[in-house]
């Protein structure tokens, strides 16, 4: 009896020893702030005017529900994700197919293709902003050379939104490529050869052999991109500042504006809670459906 109890304690204490520091830190810098945000979302909390602070129950959430700018921002954020990620996936896949063969210099190409993924988001946003300037931007310059008339890309709602998405696609399809390529090289060539002998065409091979085998890789890569895209902020913030009008004010930018330009901390926190719930719902859904813990 005694020995058994001793053993239990002996086993338990190292777990706590190892895991507590991380849990405490995460509690302080993650869990507590989230609870704090939840709490303050029931308040009217002006950062400057102390007289304009007070408990207002669910009013913030009711107002958010009625706020057209909020719905617009949410729509833009989700639109961003559902346009950019599929395109990135398709490009990534076909380039992976293209480069899944040996020729001189292919290794260099494969490595260099990954560089955009590692460009700082801020720098990427600013560079695209520069390249799209009508008078002196490099892209505008090249486009006028092939006969496209000079346009203020970032001053028109549709083109600005498209530009923000294209910026993301430029930076992130190589990320998809990287994952899908690593999946492709693991497909035994014999499978493809067998299909070739059966006289299967290119699309047959893609749909019947490659895609089913790559499904887990696709899931991982898309999940990772999704996590990233739900948090997107800096690129767009520096590239368009949410403009023109509200055409690129994604939800994250709208929350920032409410908090740090209008100083409506309570209202912004309430929107932050909503965004968190959306993100976690998507994430947990995907994780539960597709993931098993690696460890034994």
Partner 1 sequence: MRKAGKYFLILVLLVSTFLFSQPYKGSTIKVLVWDDALTVAVESMIKQFENETGIKVVFERIPSGSILEKLALSVSGSKADYDLVSVDEPFVPQVGNLFMPYSAWPEGKIYSKIDLERDLIPGVAEGSFWNGEYRGLPINGNVYVWLTRKDIVNNEQYKKEFMQKYGYELDIPQTFDQLLDISEYLSTKGIYGFAPFTKNAEGATCEAIFMFESYGTNVLVQVGEHDFEVVLDKEKAVEALKMYKELCKFAPPGWEDMGHSERIAAFNQGKVFSMFQWPAIVPDHENKDQSVVAGKIYYGAPPAGPAKRAAIRGTWMLGIPNASKNKEAAAEFAYWWSSYEAGKELVKVGMTPARTDLLLDPKYVEQKPYFVGIFNSMRYSVSRPRIEKYAEVSDVIKVNWLAGVTGRVTPEVAIDNIIKGVNEVLEKYGY
Partner 2 sequence: MKRKKIKKAIIIIVSILILIVELFPILIIVLNGFKRDIDIWSGNPFSFKPTLQSYKKIFQRSDVWLGLKNSILVGLISTIISLIVGAMASYAIARFDFKYRETVAYSFLVSRMIPQISLAIPLFMMFRFINLIDTLPALIFAHMSFNIPYVVWVLLPFFSDVPKEYEEAALVDGCDKKKIFWKIFLPLVAPGVVVAGVFTFMMSWNEFLYALVLTSSQAKTAPVVINGFMGQYAPLWGQLAAAGTIMLIPNFVITLLFQRYLIEGMSGGIKG
139-178: which residues touch partner 1 (CB under 8 A)? 150, 152, 154-157
DSSP conformation class of 29: I
By CB under 8 A, residue 49 contacts partner 1 = yes
- Closest to 173 (Cα-Cα) out of 138, 233, 140, 222: 222
Which residues have CB under 8 Å from 136's CB, separation 6+? none
- Quick note: the x/- pattern for partner 1 over 248-267, rule CB under 8 A, is ---------x--xxxx----
SS3 of residue 100 by DSSP: coil
For partner 1, which residue of 1, 10, 50, 105 counts as binding (CB under 8 A)? 50
The nearest distance, CB 197 to partner 1, in angstroms, is 59
Distance CA 98, CA 106 (A): 10
* Residue range at the interface with partner 2 (CB under 8 A); choices 62-70, 185-193, 195-203, 251-259: 251-259
By CB under 8 A, residue 204 contacts partner 1 = no
By CB under 8 A, residue 90 contacts partner 2 = no
By CB under 8 A, residue 59 contacts partner 1 = no
Which residues have CB under 8 Å from 208's CB, separation 6+? 195, 200
By CB under 8 A, residue 36 contacts partner 2 = yes
Cβ-contact 164, 240 below 8 angstroms: yes
Distance CA 122, CA 138 (A): 18
The nearest distance, CB 143 to partner 2, in angstroms, is 12
The site for partner 1 (CB under 8 A) is made up of 47-50, 52, 63, 134-135, 150, 152, 154-157, 240-246, 257, 260-263
């Amino acid at each position: 009896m005694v020995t058994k109890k001793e053993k239990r304690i002996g086993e338990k204490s190292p777990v706590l020893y190892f895991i507590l520091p991380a849990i405490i830190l995460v509690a302080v810098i993650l869990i507590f702030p989230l609870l704090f945000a939840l709490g303050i979302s029931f308040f009217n909390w002006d950062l400057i005017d102390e007289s304009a602070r007070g408990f207002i129950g669910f009013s913030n959430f009711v107002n958010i529900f009625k706020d057209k700018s909020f719905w617009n921002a949410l729509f833009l954020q989700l639109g961003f994700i559902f346009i950019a990620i599929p395109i990135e996936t398709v490009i990534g896949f076909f380039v992976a197919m293209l480069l899944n063969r040996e020729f001189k210099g292919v290794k260099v190409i494969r490595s260099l293709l990954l560089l955009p993924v590692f460009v700082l988001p801020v720098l990427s946003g600013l560079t695209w902003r520069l390249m799209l300037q009508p008078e002196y931007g490099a892209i505008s310059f090249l486009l006028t050379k092939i006969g496209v008339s000079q346009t203020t890309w970032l001053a028109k709602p549709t083109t600005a939104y498209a530009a923000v998405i294209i910026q993301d696609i430029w930076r992130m399809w190589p990320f998809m490529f990287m994952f899908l390529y690593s999946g492709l090289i693991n497909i035994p060539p014999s499978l493809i050869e067998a299909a070739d002998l059966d006289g299967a065409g290119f699309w047959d091979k893609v749909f019947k052999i490659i895609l089913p085998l790559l499904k887990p890789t696709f899931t991982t890569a898309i999940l990772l991109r999704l996590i990233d895209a739900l948090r997107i902020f800096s690129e767009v913030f520096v590239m368009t500042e949410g403009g023109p009008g509200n055409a690129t004010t994604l939800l994250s930018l709208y929350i920032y504006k409410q908090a740090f330009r209008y100083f409506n901390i309570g209202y912004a926190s309430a929107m932050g809670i909503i965004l968190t719930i959306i993100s976690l719902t998507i994430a947990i859904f995907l994780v539960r459906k597709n993931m098993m813990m690696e460890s034994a």
